[in-house]
């Protein structure tokens, strides 16, 4: 069925076993800037899992370019690490490229102890810092370092190198008129802006010869006002290929762009058209990337001719065996990347090693194991939210006899709520995955089953896991018991009808997502938008209005000075942008003191104010459901706690805890 995906890809004389590429990921697994065991274990699993080509990096060509969190390749002492990596990747039949990296003005001065360098001193919105302009001598030195790095990669046995010319890093900075304001031979015109890359390619070729594979990763469109679009990037790609590059890996825009690149709000394969734009201009293989998750989607991209290979990035973090499972048609067994970024980008931005919400083993391949069960054999897991489901499947894999009891009529718990808001629907893929795995593994799932200590005792279980989740808080605010006040959970479940004006109390993640859900009601669908656009039925301005102006006016009242403080950095700005577009009013430092028919009374710095509201929605956090735990304690039945039942946290915490508790039982 996946005819194209599993057809080998040839780049010059290099044959790659399929068209599945693991693109470069800064993982923060290498505190010494050298290949570590953690990194080897991570990539071994992906090579073993059937991936065709693994691109490792960014590999900083020097400390200023790469900084302390990335891999380095500054001198020959780095080579042995890459030799090991090449050996591991090759042993499992995959090919290896190293991505040669220089951040330019995207480097943070606190990381390198000096100002970042760039073609011109143009402040970046990403670092909020102004870099230092490179002298001509320094530019030549960086070109030389790229060439030396390529030679070291070759000596180490990597099959090729990829230059990073995407995401707004140094190469992008030379190519863009926004960041390259030089008046010498490296700036001022299309040709001059290309000079740095062309000279770099020439120097690399001098070192590694004509046969070695040298490629580039490019932003298909910078998505920066006044920057390079797909047309111009295609022209640059053509120029670079003529100069001697062997493939072009096309992704989306810069870190600074206001167009989201990674979160689940990005439709699957949304940027594949950028690869096609470049593919039309070059004769070498073109890769495409971003939010390609399902094997059939990947196959269709190839069959329809958008690109020659697909980068399956986070989806291979979520499931190292993505390729093998795809090949064997075991699509439902693939742990899905939902684009939440909780484990990857959010952690990387806070300087922590990459993990994955959907896969508790990612980054722990050498440490976390699923060992066969010892001794006691029969377990009940109470609560089929993410933590309970993960515990149940882990225990079953270990050989336990497992029952999963759920009080409601379906598994998934709060994932249903997380996946309700527009652009958050991918969360629901986790439920599909667990549903399938529970059935495949033979976990006995009992729905509509309320657990009591007595029932558990009757079941004769050797071990008990309590994953009974949490319930929403209802604080003691005067007027809170009126019939126009609802919990966000009820709203997201579609259980209530709301008035025109809605006040959401609480601006944390749930409040923000609920506000987006409500404010989107009455906006047109993607299909209607396409229909109206193609038939030129409305002006672009009117279409924008139809996409953003719904049937409710929504206000969020938050006690803290900030909206969404519990949202990850990589997602927060996207959701705040969405609130703004939908016209959601945000009121911070607001302490709600009373709810009256038609209005909410709140205080800001002691001053009483009022916000009119026909309906009030509570998103004020949750409390653990611990009645069962208390009962079990009284009955002296031993148990373990998992997820929100212990302490309300994020889905990633519940899944990881579910795994860890089950793997140690």
Ligand X SMILES: Cc1cc2nc3c(=O)[nH]c(=O)nc-3n(C[C@H](O)[C@H](O)[C@H](O)COP(=O)(O)O)c2cc1C
H-run or E-run covering 342: none
Residues 226-265 that bind ligand X (CB under 6 A): 251, 262
> Which of residues 353 and 383 has its CB atom nearest to ligand X in the complex?
353
The Cα–Cα gap between 351 and 345 comes to 10
Residues 195-224 that bind ligand X (CB under 6 A): 217
H-run or E-run covering 323: helix 322-327
> Which of residues 568 and 624 has its CB atom nearest to ligand X in the complex?
568
> Which of residues 484 and 573 has its CB atom nearest to ligand X in the complex?
573
In the complex, residue closest to ligand X by CB: 313
> Could you say which of 166, 215, 391, 468 contacts ligand X (CB under 6 A)?
166
> Could you say which of 2, 5, 18, 25 contacts ligand X (CB under 6 A)?
25
- Nearest distance in Å: CB 144, ligand X: 22
User: CA angle 177-183-189, nearest 5°?
Assistant: 45
3-state secondary structure of 14: strand
* Integer CA distances (angstroms), 69 to 32, 331, 354, 607, in order: 8, 35, 12, 47
> Could you say which of 112, 156, 208, 354 contacts ligand X (CB under 6 A)?
354
Beta-strand pair 615-618/501-505 = parallel
> Could you say which of 348, 362, 464, 617 contacts ligand X (CB under 6 A)?
348
Q: How far apart are the first and last CA of the chain?
A: 41
> Could you say which of 44, 290, 487, 523 contacts ligand X (CB under 6 A)?
290
Residues 56-85 that bind ligand X (CB under 6 A): 57-58
The Cα–Cα gap between 203 and 507 comes to 54
> Which of residues 57 and 81 has its CB atom nearest to ligand X in the complex?
57
Binding mask 301-340 for ligand X (x = CB under 6 A): ----------xxxxx-------------------------
Q: Are 203 and 144 in contact (CB under 8 A)?
A: yes
DSSP string, 328-339: TT-GGGSPPP-S
> Which of residues 33 and 396 has its CB atom nearest to ligand X in the complex?
33
Residue identified by tokens 């009013």 is 585
The Cα–Cα gap between 95 and 14 comes to 9
- Nearest distance in Å: CB 209, ligand X: 25
> Which of residues 39 and 292 has its CB atom nearest to ligand X in the complex?
292
- Nearest distance in Å: CB 290, ligand X: 4
Q: Total binding residues for ligand X by CB under 6 A?
A: 25
- Nearest distance in Å: CB 274, ligand X: 12
Binding mask 606-645 for ligand X (x = CB under 6 A): ----------------------------------------
> Which of residues 52 and 648 has its CB atom nearest to ligand X in the complex?
52
Among 264, 273, 316, 318, residue whose Cα is nearest residue 291: 264
Q: Are 50 and 59 in contact (CB under 8 A)?
A: no
Segment near ligand X (CB under 6 A); pick from 290-298, 401-409, 442-450, 530-538: 290-298
Among 459, 581, 542, 556, residue whose Cα is nearest residue 506: 556
Q: Are 395 and 662 in contact (CB under 8 A)?
A: yes
User: CB-based contacts of 128: which residues, under 8 Å, 6+ apart?
Assistant: none
- Nearest distance in Å: CB 349, ligand X: 8
Residues 501-530 that bind ligand X (CB under 6 A): none
Segment near ligand X (CB under 6 A); pick from 284-292, 552-560, 607-615, 651-659: 284-292
Among 263, 426, 425, residue whose Cα is nearest residue 336: 426
* 3 state SS for 520-555: HCCCCCHHHHHHHHHCCCCCHHHHHHHHHCCCCEEE
> Could you say which of 4, 9, 26, 356 contacts ligand X (CB under 6 A)?
26
H-run or E-run covering 431: helix 428-441
Binding site residues, ligand X, CB under 6 A: 23-26, 57-58, 99, 164, 166, 217, 251, 262, 289-292, 311-315, 344-345, 348, 354
């Amino acid at each position: 069925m996946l005819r194209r995906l599993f057809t080998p890809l040839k780049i010059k004389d290099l044959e790659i076993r399929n068209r599945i590429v693991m693109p470069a990921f800064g993982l923060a697994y290498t505190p010494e800037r050298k290949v570590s065991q953690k990194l080897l274990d991570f990539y071994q699993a992906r090579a073993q899992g059937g991936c065709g080509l693994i691109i490792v990096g960014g590999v900083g060509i020097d400390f200023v370019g790469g900084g302390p969190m990335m891999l380095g390749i500054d001198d020959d002492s780095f080579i042995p690490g890459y030799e090991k990596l090449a050996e591991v990747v090759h042993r499992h039949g995959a090919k290896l490229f190293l991505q040669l990296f220089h951040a330019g003005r995207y480097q943070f001065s606190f990381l390198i102890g000096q100002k970042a360098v760039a073609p011109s001193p143009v402040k970046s919105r990403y670092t909020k810092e102004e870099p230092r302009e490179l002298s001509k001598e320094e530019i030549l030195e960086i070109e030389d370092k790229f060439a030396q790095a390529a030679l070291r990669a070759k000596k180490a046995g990597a099959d090729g190198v990829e230059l990073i010319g995407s995401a707004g890093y140094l190469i992008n900075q030379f190519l863009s008129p926004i960041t390259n304001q030089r008046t010498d031979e490296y700036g001022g015109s299309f040709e001059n802006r290309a000079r740095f890359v062309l000279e770099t390619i020439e120097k690399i070729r001098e070192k590694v010869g004509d046969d070695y594979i040298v490629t580039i990763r490019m932003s298909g469109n910078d998505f920066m006002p006044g920057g390079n679009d797909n047309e111009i990037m295609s022209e640059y790609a053509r120029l670079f290929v003529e100069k001697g590059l062997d493939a072009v890996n096309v992704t989306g825009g810069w870190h600074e762009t206001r167009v989201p690149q990674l979160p689940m709000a990005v439709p699957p394969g949304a940027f594949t058209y950028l690869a096609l734009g470049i593919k039309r201009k070059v004769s070498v293989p073109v890769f495409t990337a971003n939010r390609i998750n399902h094997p059939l989607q990947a196959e269709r991209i190839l069959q329809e001719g958008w690109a020659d290979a697909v980068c399956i990035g986070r989806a291979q973090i979520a499931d190292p065996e993505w390729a093998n499972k795809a090949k064997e048609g075991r699509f439902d067994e693939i742990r899905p990347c939902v684009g939440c970024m909780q484990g990857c980008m959010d952690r990387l931005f806070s300087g922590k090693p990459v993990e994955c919400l959907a896969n508790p083993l990612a980054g722990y391949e050498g440490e976390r194991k699923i060992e066969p069960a010892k001794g006691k054999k029969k377990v009940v897991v109470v609560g089929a939210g993410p933590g309970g489901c993960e515990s149940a499947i882990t225990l079953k894999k270990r050989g336990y006899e497992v029952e999963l009891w759920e009080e409601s009529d379906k598994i998934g718990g709060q994932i249903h709520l997380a996946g309700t808001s527009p652009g958050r629907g991918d969360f629901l893929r986790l439920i599909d995955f667990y549903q399938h795995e529970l059935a495949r593994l033979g976990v006995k799932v009992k729905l509509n089953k309320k657990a009591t200590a007595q029932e558990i005792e009757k079941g004769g279980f050797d071990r008990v896991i309590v994953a009974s989740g949490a319930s929403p808080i209802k604080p003691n605010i005067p007027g809170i018991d009126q019939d126009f006040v609802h919990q966000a959970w009820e709203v997201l479940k579609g259980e209530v009808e709301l008035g025109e004006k809605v006040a959401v109390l609480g601006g944390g993640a749930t409040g923000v997502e609920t506000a987006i859900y409500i404010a989107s009601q009455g906006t047109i669908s993607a299909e209607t938008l396409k229909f109206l656009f193609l038939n030129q039925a409305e002006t672009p301005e009117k279409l924008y209005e139809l996409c953003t102006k719904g049937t409710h006016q929504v206000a969020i009242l938050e006690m803290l000075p900030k909206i969404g403080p519990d949202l990850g950095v990589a997602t927060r700005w996207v959701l705040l942008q969405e609130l703004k577009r939908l016209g959601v009013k945000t009121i911070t430092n607001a302490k709600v003191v009373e709810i009256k028919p038609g209005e909410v009374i709140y205080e800001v710095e002691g001053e009483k104010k009022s916000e009119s509201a026909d309906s009030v929605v509570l998103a004020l956090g949750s409390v653990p459901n611990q009645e069962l735990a208390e009962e079990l304690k009284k009955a002296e039945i031993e148990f373990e706690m998992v997820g929100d039942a212990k302490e309300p946290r994020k889905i990633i915490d519940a899944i990881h805890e579910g795994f860890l508790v089950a793997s140690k039982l």
